[in-house]
Structure 1
Amino acid sequence: MKKIIVLSLLILASCANKKETKQIAEISCGLCQLHLDADECSLAVRFNDKAYFVDGFNIDDFGDAHDEKIGFCNVIRKAEITGVVKDGRFVASSIELIEE
């Protein structure tokens, strides 16, 4: 009986976990470009008309955020992102910039 209860709880827990999704999104500085409420520059993504700060990656992981041509504080770029929205933030497991 204990095994059945434990197995049932494991199945329920696995169903409750949101699966990561892979999609194309806009990526930039949440403060400077995506107009999220923040005290400092921080990496953010926008998809489905909603912007989220990113956990798992830093704004400078892709080069100088203040570079005039490619910096996230100056331009909005495209990326293929994988992750899940949790507690109003995007928890990213991978981000690959798409060069245009």
Structure 2
Amino acid sequence: MKKFIIAIFVVLAGLSAHAQTKPKKAAPVQTITKQTVEIACGECQFKMKGKDCELAIRINGKPYFVDGKGIDDFGDAHGTHGFCNAISKAEVSGKIVDNRFKATSIELIPEKKAEQ
């Protein structure tokens, strides 16, 4: 009987501790509208950790992997001026959700215009 009471106490203590755990707050969603950013391969150029070459943007010094567009959607990523070998500029719109950029539009800015 004593073991049974101890077992019930342990189970109730565990349930009580779990019930007091607060759920994590979701990070606020940040909307980006026609903002000029840096765009490149997250791993090759922005030194982000990932599984493969993946498109990323950098806003105010912080990189985000991109959902909704692929790294080869703008040409060969491994070409001379591709995203794995160079950082470009782009005008983007979308939302930052869970530390990823959900793109609704990405337009590359030609190099001459980007330099001005």
Please indicate, yes or no, whether the TM-score normalized by the shorter chain is above 0.5. yes
Larger Rg, first or second structure (1 or 2): 2
Q: Name stretches of at least 5 consecutive residues in structure 2 with no aligned partner.
A: 1-27, 112-116
Aligned to 2:9: none
TM-score after normalising by structure 1: 0.79
Q: Which residue of 1 aligns with 2:100?
A: 89
For 1:25 and 1:18, locate their aligned partners in 2 and report how far apart those are by CA, in whole Å.
15
Q: Which residue of 2 aligns with 1:71?
A: 82
List structure 1 segments (4+ residues) > 6 angstroms apart after TM superposition.
Answer: none
Task: Name the residue aligned to 1:45.
Answer: 57
Q: RMSD of the alignment, in Å?
A: 1.5
Greater helix share, structure number: 2
**Superposed CA offset, 1:30-80 (max 9, x none):** 000011111210000001110000000000000000001x20000000000
Unmatched segments (≥5 aa) in structure 1: 1-15
Shifted more, 18-27 versus 58-67: the winner is: 18-27
